[in-house]
Each structure stands twice: as C-alpha cells, then as structure tokens.
C-alpha cells in the first residue's frame, strides 16, 4: 500500500508542470532557437523521403494507382510531403517573426499528423501481411526529437496505439502476427512515452536550472557592483571618494601624461566648518556637507567634471580634457600655463561659477557673524604632460586653497605664475598665489 502511494506521488510529480507561466513563454523562445536547425533538418529529411517514395511508386509497374493499397501508400506519401513543406514554410516564417507560442502549437499539430500518417501506413502494412515496423521506429523517433508534455505524449501515443489495436482486432488484418504485433507495439508505445517524458524533463529542467544559475549570477554581479560602488563612494555624501579619485579618475594618469592632456583641479573647503559643526551639531553638519555635495554633483555633471569628497569638509572638482592645437599652451615648469590659453577651458570660469552657485544656494548660518555658509577654492590647471605624479597636482591645488583661506576665505586662488615666490617661502596670499576672484 505504501509503495503504491509512493508511485502515485512520483507520477503526480512527473506530471506536474516544471515551469511557471512566465518561464514557459521564455522556454518557447529558448527551445525554438536551440532546435531550429535540427527541426529544419528533420522536416527536410521527411520531405525528401516522401518524394523518393513517390518516385519509386511512379516508376513501379502499373503506376501508383494500380491497386487500392498502392494508391493508399502514394496518397499518404503525397499528403505528408505537402503538409511537411507547408509546415516548414510556416515554421520558418513564424521563427523570423518570433511567434514562439504559436510555433509550439504548430509543432504539436505536426506531431499529430505524423501519428495519423503512421497509423495509416501501419494499417496498409497489415493488409499486406507485414509487421508494424514503421510504427516501431517512427513513434520512438518522434518521442526523441519532438517536445511534448507528459500528458500530451501519454495521450497522443496511447490513443494512436489504441486505434491501431482496435483496427487490428476488429478487422482481422494480419491475424497470424496479431499477438507479436500487440506485444511489440505495446512495448514500443510505453518506451516512446518514457523517452518523451525524459526528453521533456531534461529540456525544461535544464532551462530552469540555466535561469536559476543566471539569476544567481546576476545577484552576485549586483552584489559585486554594490560592493564596488561602496568601495569608491563616500557613504555620507554619495560622491566619489579618494580611492575613486586615484584609481578611476586619475587611474589613466600615465596616458593623460603621454597624450599631453590638460587638466583642472579645484579644491573646495567649507569655511569655518568645525565651528559650524560645534555650534549646530553633527547632524546639522552632515546635512551641510550633503547640501554642498549635491551642488558639486550637479555642477560637475553640467561641466563635464568629476566631484570627489577628499576628506572632512574638503572636496575636489577634477576635469581632464584634450589639448587642442588651436591655441598652443606656454607651459612653465609647474605645469601651469602663463597665458592660460585653454580655449573652451576659459581662465577660471568653472571655479567662479561654482563659487557663485554655492553663494546663491544660501545655506544659512549665524555662528560666526556670517549669514550663510561660504567656501574657499584653490585651483590648479595646466598641461598634465609637465606633471610627474597626481599627488603634485593635488598639492598645488591645496597650496592655492591655503592662500585663499589665508587671504580671508570665501574666495578663489589659483596656483599661478609667480613660482619663484613660492620657492622663497613668502607667507602672504598675494605673493604666493594669484588671487583671481572673491
């Protein structure tokens, strides 16, 4: 009793759909694309075989209609040839139009016609006292190459064999071979059902497993992308962090250096931020950082630059462009240009526009006698071919920022032409860098 129950459970599990409704739609496309050439080859083979048999019958003595039985064979060959060519044309057309759901129905209809054809040939063979050889090789072949659900294969093969059995028993055709035909036919039918179920299970399980693996791989990819993003993103502001600056933005510095590209780095520092943080609290301080970061991110997108949180209340704007031949640069030993002939990278417009935009944002404060949050900017711009390493550029921008802060903050200083004054260690903002705005 227990074994019977287990067998019933296994049968139910076998008959249970393997794929969901959505998966069935995707599977129809997958299966058609995978077996397209095979099904074309099978259809062509069937058509050629029917044509060959028709030629044989045409050249036989008496022609194809000499006897009723011969007429039956010729009619079946002709009918299957015509149906195969028609179905082949429709199949190719629907594949091009990607009618995968309709193709599954077309495939099943063709299998039904093949089974009916097989029944007809088998009955004609029995009229001549032959075996059921055609049925015994054709039905397993259909099971092995034509996809059917378990219910479809059990129904189709079972009904086909039942029709043949009834015809053999009640017509008395080939009675002397009836027993062996029944045994062989029953075995072949069961074998075909088994082959069809295994083929269906193999194809659909394989597809389902492929989708599971693909989904897991996609999840892993997304997780890796998230980790990668977290590794290169400042968690508070959402801007790129220092690691991203060195590996992504300036990761191709040697290439920039070799191609003589020009660059611009603007270091931004929030004025008196520690005092702001102490007065308004860390949460308000974080909110201030986010507001400045949002401005920088929008501004960088519009300017074709990259925005980076460098650390604490310091940010960087970085822009790298190609050197044009229209206005050649006169480069001094610091990599800066004395005439600042940058074509579309005009003098210090980007830094000036940024300072203006932050002022217009009007982030309020009243802890230091000012009415709003301000920033100081240090700018370096020049030809990267004259710079030995990235750290040098950042150092130059940092020195310019120091001068802007030293001169009273809320202004812009550029690492300028007066390099000899830098080397003397002059301490005044006006002597160490050129004030350009603010």
Q: Is residue 234 part of a domain?
A: no
Look at 13-22, 72-81, 395-404 and tell me which has the smallest mean pLDDT.
Answer: 13-22
Nearest to 100 by CA among 8, 35, 177, 51: 35
**Token couple for 378:** 């240090």
Do 31 and 89 reside in the same domain of the chain?
yes
- Domain of 108 in residue numbering reads as 19-218
Higher pLDDT, 209 or 422: 209
Any domain includes 224: no
- Among candidate residues 198, 99, 102, the one with its CA nearest the CA of residue 148: 198
Q: Say how far apart CA 405 and CA 435 lie, in whole Å.
A: 11
Does residue 212 share a domain with residue 267?
no
Q: Which residue has the higher pLDDT, 431 or 9?
A: 9
In terms of domains, do 81 and 163 share one? yes
Does 246 share its domain with 209? no
- Give the Å distances, CA to CA, from 72 to 48, 56, 117, 134: 19, 14, 11, 15
**81 & 209 share domain:** yes
Q: Check which CATH number belongs to the domain holding 299 and give it.
A: 3.30.70.270
Q: Are residues 429 and 350 in the same domain?
A: yes
CA–CA gap between residue 272 and residue 115 (Å, rounded):
88
pTM above 0.85, yes or no: no
121 & 161 share domain: yes
For the segment 224-262, what is each residue's pLDDT rounded down to a tens digit? 988 888 899 999 999 999 999 998 888 888 888 888 899
Contact at 8 Å (CB) between 88 and 36? no
Same domain, 145 and 46: yes
Residue 128 domain-assigned (yes or no): yes
Domain shared by 81 and 174, yes or no: yes
Please, are residues 195 and 144 in contact by the beta-carbon 8 Å criterion? Answer: yes
Query: Both 149 and 46 in a single domain?
Result: yes
Domain-ending residue, one of 157, 183, 218: 218
Q: How many domains in the chain?
A: 2
Same domain, 177 and 268: no
Residue 233 lies inside a defined structural domain of this protein? no
Compute the average pLDDT of residues 320-327: 59
Region 350-378: what's the mean pLDDT?
92
Say if residue 136 is in the same domain as residue 184.
yes
pLDDT level of residue 11 (50, 70, 90 thresholds): low
């Amino acid at each position: 009793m227990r074994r019977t129950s287990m067998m019933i459970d296994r049968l139910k599990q076998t008959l249970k759909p393997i794929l969901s409704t959505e998966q069935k739609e995707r599977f129809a496309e997958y299966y058609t694309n995978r077996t397209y050439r095979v099904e074309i080859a099978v259809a062509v083979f069937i058509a050629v075989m029917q044509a060959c048999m028709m030629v044989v019958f045409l050249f036989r003595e008496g022609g194809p209609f000499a006897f009723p039985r011969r007429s039956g064979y010729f009619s079946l060959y002709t009918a299957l040839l015509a149906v195969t060519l028609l179905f082949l044309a429709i199949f190719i057309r629907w594949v091009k139009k990607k009618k995968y759901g309709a193709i599954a129905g077309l495939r099943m209809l063709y299998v039904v016609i093949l089974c009916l054809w097989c029944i007809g040939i088998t009955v004609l063979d029995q009229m001549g006292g032959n075996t059921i050889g055609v049925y015994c090789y054709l039905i397993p072949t259909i099971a092995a190459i034509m996809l059917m659900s378990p219910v479809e294969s059990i129904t189709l093969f079972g009904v086909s064999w039942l029709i043949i059995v009834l015809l053999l028993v009640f017509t008395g055709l080939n009675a002397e071979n009836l027993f062996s035909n029944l045994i062989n036919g029953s075995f072949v039918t069961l074998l075909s059902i088994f082959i069809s179920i295994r083929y269906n299970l193999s194809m659909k399980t394989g597809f389902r497993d492929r989708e599971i693996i693909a989904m897991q791989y996609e999840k892993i990819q997304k997780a890796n992308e998230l980790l990668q993003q977290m590794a290169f993103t400042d968690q508070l502001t959402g801007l790129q962090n220092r690691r991203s600056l060195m590996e992504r933005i300036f990761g191709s510095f040697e290439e920039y250096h070799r191609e003589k590209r020009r660059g611009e780095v603007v270091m931004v520092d929030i004025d008196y931020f520690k005092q702001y943080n102490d007065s308004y609290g860390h949460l308000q301080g974080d909110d201030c950082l986010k507001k400045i970061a949002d401005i920088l991110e929008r501004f960088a997108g519009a300017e074709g630059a990259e925005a980076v949180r460098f650390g604490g209340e310091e940010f960087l704007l970085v822009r790298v462009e190609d050197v044009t031949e229209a206005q050649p640069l006169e480069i001094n030993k610091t990599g800066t240009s004395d005439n600042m002939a940058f074509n579309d990278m005009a003098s210090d417009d980007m830094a000036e526009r940024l300072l203006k935009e932050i002022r217009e944002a009007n982030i309020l404060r009243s802890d230091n006698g000012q009415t709003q949050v301000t920033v100081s900017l240090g700018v370096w711009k020049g030809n990267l071919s004259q710079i030995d390493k990235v750290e040098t550029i950042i150092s130059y921008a940092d020195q310019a920022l120091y001068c802007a802060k030293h001169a009273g903050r809320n202004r812009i200083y550029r690492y300028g032409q007066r390099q000899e004054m830098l080397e003397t260690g002059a301490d005044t903002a006006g002597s160490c860098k050129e004030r350009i705005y603010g």
